[in-house]
Amino acid sequence: MCVLQMTQDICMIQEKITTPVGNKSEKLKRSVIDQKQVKELSITINVQRNVTLSAFLSRNHRIVFNIPKIGINITLPRNVMIMFKECIISCDKHQIFIIEGATIGSLPANKLQLERKGFETLVMPTNKAWKIEFDKIHAVFPYNYNFAECVQEVINTLKWIKLVHKVKKKPFTIDSPLPADLFINVKELLLQLSDDPFEVQLSDNYSLLADEQTETEKRLSALERKIEELRKSLGLLPANKVQELYDNLKEKSSLIYTHRHQQLYNNGPPRTKLFSWKMVNLEIVALADKSLHGKENVINHMREIDISSRYPSDGMDFITLWCRMINCSLEEWTIHLRDFPQAMLDVKDLHIWGRLIGAEQHAHPRAIRTCRIEVGDPWGDMIVERNMPPLKFYYDFESDVKQWTMCTGACWEQTLAQYNLAMTLINHPSKDPSPNLPFWDKIRLLLHGRLTMAMDKMCWMYHASLNPYNKTEMMDWQWTNLILDWTTAKFMFNGDLDIYARTASKYDDCNLLHLPKLRFCIKLEWLCEGDANNHHRVMPCASDKVPYKEDYDSYKDFRSQNMNMSMSFETKSSEANPNNVPYCVFYASTLRWLDKIKMCMTHVSRPTRRGSFFDKPRLPKLQLSRHFRNVNLSVNFHQFHAQYWMSFAKEHGVEMHRGELTFKSGHNLTLVKIEDGLIHRPQANWSIKNINLNLKGAKMWLCCKNETTGMEEKSYFLSVKHVQYDRDDNLMVESAEPQQQSDDREDVEKAFLHRVYIEDLKASWTTTNRNTVFSLFEGYNKAQALKRNLSSGALKGYKVDSQTQATPKSRSRSVSMSNPNSTAATPSPMSRMQSGHTQNLLKRLIQEMDSKSMAFTEEPTGSHEEQLHGVAACQTKDVIHNNLLVELKNSQVMLQGAHTKGYVIVCAAEAKVMSCIHKPVWQNRQLKSKTTWVSSVDCMQYFATVDNTDNVMWLEKELLDVDDKTDCNLGLDVLDGAVAEMAGSGHSVGGVVTARIPTPTPINIGRQEDQERSNQQTMQLQRMISRCKCQLFYASYGEVDPDATPQVTLDKIENDMLDFEEGVDSFTLLHHDLNVCTNPLQYAMILDIVNTLLLYVEPKKKQSTERLQSMRFKIQLFSEKDQKTPILQLQEDVRQMIVSLRRQERDLYLIQKEIDEEEDLTERYVSVQYKSRIEQVLNDCKEKLNQMNEELTIMINCYAQNQLEKMSQLKDSQSGETMVVRRNEVCFRSAQWKLTETDGQLGLADMVLRNFLYSKVNNNDDSGAHQLEVGWFKMTNLLPNSLYKDVLVPRDPLGKGHLDRQGALRIFSRDKAPVGGINVKEHFEVNVVPLTIQLTYKFFKTLEAFFFQKNENEEGSDAMPTKSKTRQGSIRKQTSANINTQQRGSEGSSDDVIKMRARAATNNTFIYIKIPEVPVKVSYKGEKEKNIVDITDFTFVLPTLEYHNQTWTWQDVLNAIKGESKKVIVSQAIKQKLHMKSRFYDEEVHLSSAQQEEDKAKMLLGAKLMAATEKPGNKKTLFGKSNK
C-alpha cells in the first residue's frame, strides 16, 4: 500500500509541474511556446544498499524483490531513467527470475522515427517512446514448484487493489490517450524448467555404469595380455595364481566403481535442466498510432486480419483491446531438452514485422469466476471477480529467417511428456469444468491471422533411433529459398525440398529426394458441431455456474470431432535451369534405414507419471495422428528421375526417367473399439477410398559397372507411353446374375476395384539385363533372409506334437472321385477281363486289325477345353466383387540371346488380367476364401530379325492395333489373299515388315541414349507367329478373413454340407491357334533365347541348391534338439557380426570426417592408411556375414521343411486321406510350325499339332500325377520333287476321324511321395496310335541342317552312341560311378550325404511301367536312285512292354525299351525284307476259331504273358519252321 501511495504522489507532482494554470485556451497557447522556455527539473536517486521489497500475497505465497543497487534519474518534464545491475525475484523462497543490467527510461520522440517510416500505414511520424534494456534475464523454475498459483495470487491482488481504489476502465476511443512506443532489448533471455532429481541421478548412474563396463573390459584385456607374456617368458603359471589375479582385478574394479560414484558430483553440481528456451540479442519495437487506436479502428483491423471468422452482427465488448505495429529481431533462438546434443529448435537471424492485436472478450455472467483474497486482519478476506475468456491474438506478420532448424523423434516423447507435466505447474489450466482442449483446438481459438516467412534454409530432422542422445541417425527435410504462408487452416510452402539420410556411414548425406520449385500445400477442414471458425461464440463457464453437471462442454460447438486434410505436391519446370528436375536416389541400405524410420514413427509411447500413485488421473490424451477422418493426397511432377543402387560401389542398379507424373489418393481413418474384456484404446484402421495415378513417357535402364574399365554402363530395359491406375472403393459391388454379366460386360469391367491401363509397353530382356536383374534380386533376397533369420520367430511354429488326436474320418467324397480324370489310370488287361467285357466287343477288336494293340483312354473327353479345371474354377457365377483389372495396349517385349545375333519381338495388341473375389468354398472340412485370376492376350504376334543384326526396330502401331477385319483367334487376316501372302505382306505368318521412318536404337544405351542417329537404316522383321490368342486361368484358396469377407449364403446341397468339398488351387494355360514360321537362323536364335534367358539358372543359385540338398540329407541324421542348437548358435554369431560391421562403418565414417577436416598432410596420410585397413576389414566382414547368412538360411529352411514334413506325415496318418492341393494344365487347340530356308520364303517342312493337353496334379502328401495327351499330329515334306509328302501321320484306328476325340498320344504317370529323396513312379504308361512314317534321305539331311548348325562338332555327335552304350551297364555301377564323381567334386563332404544325394538325383523307383504295342508303317527313300535300304510300306509292331518294381534312371528306361524293341524290329524287318508270309499282316488269310481266341488273349493279356504259356516245341524259328 505504501508503494502504491508513493507512486500516486509522484504522478501528482509531475502533473502539477507540467500543467500550466488557466483554461483550455491558455493551455493551447502555452503548448506552442518554445521548448527552451520550459524549465527543467532534474532528480537523481542512487541507492547503494540492498533494496528488498516483499509482497505477502497469502499465507502460503509471497514475492520478494531483491535489488543490490539502484539508480533513478528523473529530468522533468520528459526524461526518466531507472538503472540497476541486478534484480532477483523470489517466489516462496525460490529464486525464479534473475535480471542483470537493466535500464528503463524514456526516449526522444524522433528516436524511433526510422522504424515508423518502415510502416507506410502509420499516420503519425513520431510518438513518445520508452526503452527497456536488459543484459540478461533468466527464469529458472524449480522442480515440482507450483508457480501458476503464485501468479494467480498476484493477479488477484492487482484486481483487489483496483477494486479498493475504485479504478474503473475508461472507454477505449480514438480520443483516448495514445500509449507510448516501446523499444525492448534483451541481450540474453533464458527460460528453464528443472528436472526431477531422481531422474537425473538415475541417468548419471547409468552413464557411469556403462563407462565403467567399457573400462573393465579394457583392464581385463590388459591383464590377459600380461598373463600371456608371463607364460611365454616363465612357462606355465599355476592355476590358483591366475585365478587370484582375476579375483584381484574384479575386486579392484569394484573399488574403482565405488570411488567414481562417490566422486561423481565433486567436480560440479548435477544437471538440473529439463527444458531450456534461450534467445540472444532480442529486440522488440512496438509502435502505437492513431490509425491503430480506438475500438473501431482496432475492430476494423481485426476483421481485416481474421476474414475467415464471422464477426457478430451485434458487436462485442472487450476488457483488453490493443493494436501495435511490431518489429522484432533476434540473433539466435534455441530450445534444448535435458542434455541432449541435438537442439529441438535452432533459429538464426530472425526478423519479423507486422500488425499484432490483443483482445480479451468481455465475459458473459456465467464466465465470471470469483476468487478469495486473504487481506489479513483487521480487514478479513475479500472476493474479486475474474474474467474467464482467454486473451486472443490477431496478427499479420511477415518474416525473414536465415536458418530454421527443428528436430523431433519418438526418442524424445518421454521427455516431452515430462515437460508437459511441468508446464501445468507454470501455466495454470483453465478453471472451466469442460474437458481440456487439445493443442490444435487451442491454436484455433487463440491465434488468428496470417504469417508469411521467407527462409534461406529450413531443416526438419527426425530421429531414426530410439536413443535420445542420437545425433547422427536422422532423416533431414531441408528446404532452401522457402516461402511459408500460414493462414487459417492452410499452410503453403514454396521452395526447393531435399530429403537426406543422415547416417554415420559412407551413405551419409544420401539425397533421397530432390524436388525443385516445389509448391506444397496443406489444407485443413475441422469437423465440428458448429462453425469451425466462429471462435467468437466460445464462452467458458465457471464451475459453480454450470447449467447441467453431466457431460458439460463449453467448447461443444467449437471442439473439433475430426479433421479432413488435403496435401498437394506440385513442381514446375524452370526456364533458367531446365535440367533441374525432381529425382530420387537410394540404396539397398537406405531401405533398411527407412524401416528404422517406420519403426520409430509407429512406436507407441507409454504414460509418464500418470495414475493414482502420482496423484494424476490417467486422462486419455488425444493424438493428432488419430484425429483424422479423410486425408487426400495430390502429387503433380512435370518430370521425375529415380535411381536405385545395391551398394555405395554402384555395381548394379536401376535408373528411371519419367515424364509427367500425377498421383491422387483419398484415405479414411476409423477408430474401432476392441471388445475383448480388456482396456484398450480404439484401433486405428486406415482405408483407401480412391487412388488415381497417371504416368507419361517413362523409361527405365538397368545399370552396372564395367569390370574392366570401372565405368558405369546403362542398358535399355523398359519404357511406357502412358500408365494409368485407378482405385475406387465405391465401385466394389457384388456380382450380378450371369445373364446380366454377359449382357453388360463393359459395365462389369468398370466395376473393378483396381484398374491399371498400360499403353505402348516396350521391354528388352537380354543377357546384360538378366544378370543385372538377378543381382538386384539376389541382394534383395539376402537382405530379407537376414532380417527373417534374425527375427524372434524364425524357429517358431515348427513344433510337431505327436500326441495330437486323430481327426475323424470325413464322410465327404474323395476329390479324386469327384473328378475321375485327375488320377485315372489305364486298367490292366486282367482287370478288364474281370470287369466283364462282352463277346461283341472282342469280335470288334479282332476285326479292326490296326487297333487291336492300341489302348484308348477309358473316358472319351471330347473337347479338352470343357474339362479344364482352371477354366471351370474361374467362372463368374459366385463372384462377390471384382478386384483387379490390368489392360495393356500395344505391348512389345524384345528377347535377345547370348550366342546368336538378332532378336525376337513378342507383341500383343491387347492384354487383360482380371482378378475376382468369390464366395467362400469348402476345402477339407474348412471354409476357404477363393480368388481367381484370368488373363487374356489377344492378337499376340512374334517377330524375328531376318538378318544378323543387333539394331532394335520397334514395331509400328499399325502392326499391333486390332483391325475389325482381323480375326485374332484364326491367326491370319481374312482379307489377306494368296498374293499378299506370297509377297510377304499382310498379317499372315512369314510376312516381312520393313522399317522406313523409325530410327534403330542400340540395345545397350549409353549416356547419350536419347539422341537420335542422323543416318537411318533399313531393317526387316519377319512374322514368326501370326496373330493368335492366349488365356491363363488361376484359382487360389486361402484362409477366410471374417472382417473382410461379407456374409454370403452358401448354395443348398442335397447331402450334408460337410460332404461337399472343393477348392483346389488350379492353373490353366490355354493357347489357341498357333501358326509358326521359322528359318534356321531364327530357330537357333530361339534355342539360344530359351537356354540363356528363359531356362537360365544362376550359378550361385545352383550352388545354393546343392548346399540345400546336402544340408537336407545331413539334417536327417540328427535329432530335433541337435538340429536346433547349432541354428541358435549361428544366429547369435550373425548378430555379433552385424554389430561389429556397424561399428566398423561408424569408425570409417569418423575417420573420413577427420580426413576432411585435417589440414596437416602427415596426419592426413596416417589417417588415409588407417582408413584403407579398416575398409579391408570391413569388406572381409561383409563377405563372412554373407556366408554365415547363407548357411543360416539353409539350416533354417531345412529345419522348417523337416518339421513341416513331420507335421504333414502326422496329419496324413491321422486323417488317412489323400487330398488334391494343386492342378496345373497346359492346353493348345491347334499349332502349325512351318520350317523355311534362310531367306524365310521357301518351305522345308510343315508340322501340325492339335488338341495338346498336359495336366499335373499335386497331393497333400507330395504325391501326384502327370498326364499328356495329343489329339492329332502331322509332319509334311515341303521340299520340291519329293517322293513322300506326309512324313509322319497317325492312322485312324476306327477309320471315322475320331483321333481328335480319342487322342493320338497319351502319357500318364502317377507318383507317390518320395522316399529318402528318391522319386517313386507308381504307374507309368505310354499309349500311341498306329503311325505312318514316310522319310527320304534328302529330307532327313535338310532337317539335320536346320536343327543342327554346320559349325557344330561332329565328333561329339558321333561319340553319343558310344556314350549311350556305356549307360547300359548295371544300375549299381552307374550309381557308384556317380558317387565317385561327386566325391572328387566336393572334397570334405560326408560319404553318406554324397551317396544319398547321388542316389536321389539319378534314380527313380518304377512300381509299374506299361507301353502297349504300336503298329508302325515305314517308307524310306535313300540318297541314290536305288538303295538297299529303300523300303516301301514296311509294317512292324513295337511290342508291349511291362516292367515291375525297378529302380532305374530315365536313361535305363530308354535303354530297356530300346533293347526290347530292337529284338522284335530286327526279326520283323528280316521277314519283311525276305517277303515271308505272316497271317498277322495278311488280311486275306482265314483265321480259325482257335487262332481268333489266341489273338483275343494276346490283346487283352499281352503277347509277352501269352508267350510264357506256349509250349517250347510249338515255337517257330526265324524262317517259320518248327523246332521239332
User: How do residues 295-329 score in pLDDT, each as one tens digit?
Assistant: 999 999 999 999 999 899 888 999 999 999 999 99
Q: What is the pLDDT of the chain when averaged over all its residues?
A: 78
Helix (H) or strand (E) holding 785: helix 767-789
Instruction: Give 1033: exposed, middle or buried? Use CB within 10 Å, 0-12, 13-18, 19+.
Output: buried
Report the distance separating Cα 490 and Cα 493, nearest Å.
Answer: 10
Helix (H) or strand (E) holding 1126: helix 1120-1157
Bridge partners of residue 942, in order along the sequence: 906, 1025
Under 8 Å between Cβ of 531 and 310 = yes
Under 8 Å between Cβ of 1035 and 928 = no
Quote the pTM value.
Answer: 0.78
Residues 6+ apart with CB under 8 A from 996: 1018
Residue that wins the pLDDT comparison between 1241 and 1129? 1129
Q: What is the mean pLDDT of residues 16-41?
A: 49
Identify the CA nearest to 909 among candidates 986, 963, 985. Answer: 963
Q: What is the mean pLDDT of residues 1025-1043?
A: 82
Cis ω on the peptide bond leading into residue 378 (within 30° of 0)? yes
> Mutual orientation of helices 767-789 and 588-601 as an angle, nearest 10°?
40
Q: What pLDDT does 1355 receive?
A: 42
CA distances from residue 369 to 363, 430, 543, 544 in whole angstroms, order as listed: 10, 11, 8, 8
Q: What is the mean pLDDT of residues 217-226?
A: 91
The one-letter code for the residue type at 1448 is W
Q: What is the mean pLDDT of residues 810-820?
A: 34
Grid cell at residue 374: 486473504
Q: What pLDDT does 1041 receive?
A: 67
Report the distance separating Cα 574 and Cα 516, nearest Å.
Answer: 9
**Confidence label for 517 from pLDDT (cuts 50, 70 and 90):** very high
Q: What pLDDT does 306 receive?
A: 93
Where do the H-state alpha helices sit in 526-663? 588-601
| pLDDT of 355 strictly over 90 | yes
In the numeric block, the cell 522488440 is attached to: 284
User: How do residues 174-215 score in pLDDT, each as one tens digit?
Assistant: 889 999 999 999 999 999 999 999 989 998 998 899 999 989
Q: What pLDDT does 881 receive?
A: 82
Q: How many helices (H) and strands (E) does the chain have?
A: 31, 49
Q: What pLDDT does 824 receive?
A: 37
Report the distance separating Cα 512 and Cα 364, nearest Å.
Answer: 55
| pLDDT of 1516 strictly over 50 | no
Q: What pLDDT does 1050 receive?
A: 47
Report the distance separating Cα 34 and Cα 918, nearest Å.
Answer: 100
Identify the CA nearest to 363 among candidates 393, 322, 318, 321. Answer: 318
CA dihedral over 609, 424, 420, 435, signed as positive or negative = positive
Q: What is the largest CA-CA distance in the chain?
A: 173
Report the distance separating Cα 485 and Cα 841, nearest Å.
Answer: 95
Residues 6+ apart with CB under 8 A from 663: 633, 634, 635, 636, 691, 692, 693, 694
Instruction: Give 868: exposed, middle or buried? Use CB within 10 Å, 0-12, 13-18, 19+.
Output: buried
Find how far residue 777's CA is from the centre of its chain: 15
Find how far residue 916's CA is from the centre of its chain: 23
Q: Residue 676 gets which letter from DSSP?
A: S
Of the segments 76-85, 537-546, 1454-1463, which one has the largest average pLDDT value? Answer: 537-546
Residue that wins the pLDDT comparison between 441 and 1335? 441
The one-letter code for the residue type at 315 is G
| pLDDT of 1038 strictly over 90 | no
Residues 6+ apart with CB under 8 A from 1242: 1236
Under 8 Å between Cβ of 704 and 654 = no
Q: What is the mean pLDDT of residues 993-1010?
A: 48
Q: What pLDDT does 1061 receive?
A: 45
**Confidence label for 265 from pLDDT (cuts 50, 70 and 90):** confident
Q: What pLDDT does 7 receive?
A: 61
In the numeric block, the cell 477366410 is attached to: 1040
Strands 490-502 and 560-571: unpaired
Report the distance separating Cα 993 and Cα 980, nearest Å.
Answer: 13
In the numeric block, the cell 537360365 is attached to: 1096
Residue that wins the pLDDT comparison between 966 and 318? 318
Instruction: Say whether 1179 sits in a helix, a strand or coil.
Output: helix
Secondary-structure percent of the chain, ordered helix, strand, coil, rounded to 5: 30, 35, 30
Q: What pLDDT does 519 receive?
A: 95
Identify the CA nearest to 337 among candidates 426, 409, 266, 404. Answer: 409
Q: What is the mean pLDDT of residues 1191-1203?
A: 80
Report the distance separating Cα 691 and Cα 727, nearest Å.
Answer: 5
- In this structure, of 112-126, 364-378, 594-608, 970-984, the range with the lowest mean pLDDT score is 970-984
Counting residues of the chain whose pLDDT is more than 70, the rounded percentage is 75
**Confidence label for 13 from pLDDT (cuts 50, 70 and 90):** low
| pLDDT of 2 strictly over 60 | no
User: How do residues 1152-1186 score in pLDDT, each as one tens digit?
Assistant: 878 877 777 777 777 888 888 888 888 888 888 88
Q: What is the mean pLDDT of residues 846-864?
A: 43
| pLDDT of 1071 strictly over 60 | yes
Q: Return the number of other C-beta atoms located less than 10 Å from residue 568's C-beta.
A: 16
846-860 burial code (b ≥16 CB/10 A, e <16): beeebbbbbbbbeee
Q: What is the mean pLDDT of residues 109-123?
A: 88
- In this structure, of 271-285, 1285-1299, 1422-1436, the range with the lowest mean pLDDT score is 1285-1299
Residue that wins the pLDDT comparison between 1433 and 77? 1433
- 1277 Rama class: left (phi>0) / alpha (psi -120 to 50) / beta: beta
- In this structure, of 467-476, 1306-1315, 1458-1467, the range with the lowest mean pLDDT score is 1458-1467
Q: What pLDDT does 618 receive?
A: 62
User: How do residues 1413-1431 score in pLDDT, each as one tens digit?
Assistant: 888 888 888 888 777 777 7
Identify the CA nearest to 459 among candidates 478, 475, 472. Answer: 478
| pLDDT of 725 strictly over 90 | yes
The one-letter code for the residue type at 799 is K
Identify the CA nearest to 305 among candidates 323, 286, 326, 293. Answer: 323
Q: What is the mean pLDDT of residues 378-398?
A: 90
| pLDDT of 27 strictly over 80 | no
Identify the CA nearest to 1419 among candidates 1282, 1244, 1306. Answer: 1282
Helix (H) or strand (E) holding 1209: helix 1161-1215
Report the distance separating Cα 483 and Cα 485, nearest Å.
Answer: 7
Residue that wins the pLDDT comparison between 1221 and 411? 411
Under 8 Å between Cβ of 515 and 582 = yes
| pLDDT of 28 strictly over 50 | no
Q: What pLDDT does 1055 receive?
A: 42
